């Protein structure tokens, strides 16, 4: 009888320890496994951050995919006109002065995305001097 009680106690203890070990391992973070984090945008920049009305500047998004895949870019702005597609587009300024924000969303093949913004200022064009004035 005492042998049976010891045997049952051993199996209960063994089962409990195994369950704790399995649960403990399942809760540990996977080391060294990164997975696809989506695109990383290192910078969005304008060739000319200050331009005259109706002028233009190229806007470039520098981004990379952690898995080395191709990226798609969607551009938008608070004014002016965007021309082109891809990592570099041309932005044509409106005739109004002020700050304009050009936004980009870089998206990888898995649908993960990141966004960036650059501000371009449309400045007053100086009048050319005439006739000794």
Q: Where are the domains of the chain?
A: 1-28, 39-122
Would you state the pLDDT for residue 86?
A: 97
Contacts of 67 (CB under 8 A, 6+ apart): 36, 108, 110
Would you state the pLDDT for residue 30?
A: 45
Residue 124 CA to residue 96 CA, distance in Å, equals 9
Q: In terms of pLDDT, which residue wins out, 7 or 85?
A: 85
Would you state the pLDDT for residue 116?
A: 97
Half-sphere exposure (Cβ direction) of 103: Cα atoms closer than 13 Å: 8
Here the tokens at position 39 are: 């695109």
Query: Is the Cβ–Cβ distance between 53 and 92 less than 8 Å?
Result: no
CATH class of 39-122: mainly beta
Is beta strand 39-46 parallel, antiparallel or unpaired with respect to 56-65? antiparallel
In tens, the pLDDT along 50-66 reads 999 999 999 999 999 98
pTM exceeding 0.75:
no
């Amino acid at each position: 009888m005492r042998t049976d009680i010891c045997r049952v106690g051993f199996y209960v203890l063994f089962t409990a320890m195994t369950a704790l070990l399995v649960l403990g391992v399942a809760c540990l973070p996977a080391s060294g496994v990164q997975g696809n984090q989506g695109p990383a945008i290192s910078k969005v920049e304008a060739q000319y951050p200050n331009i005259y009305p109706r002028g233009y500047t190229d806007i470039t998004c520098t981004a990379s995919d952690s898995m080395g895949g191709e990226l798609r870019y969607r551009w938008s702005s608070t004014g002016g006109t965007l021309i082109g597609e891809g990592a570099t587009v041309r932005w044509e300024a409106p005739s109004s002065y002020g700050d304009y924000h050009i936004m980009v969303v870089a998206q990888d093949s898995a649908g993960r995305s990141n966004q960036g913004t650059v501000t371009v200022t449309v400045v007053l064009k100086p009048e050319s001097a005439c006739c000794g004035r």
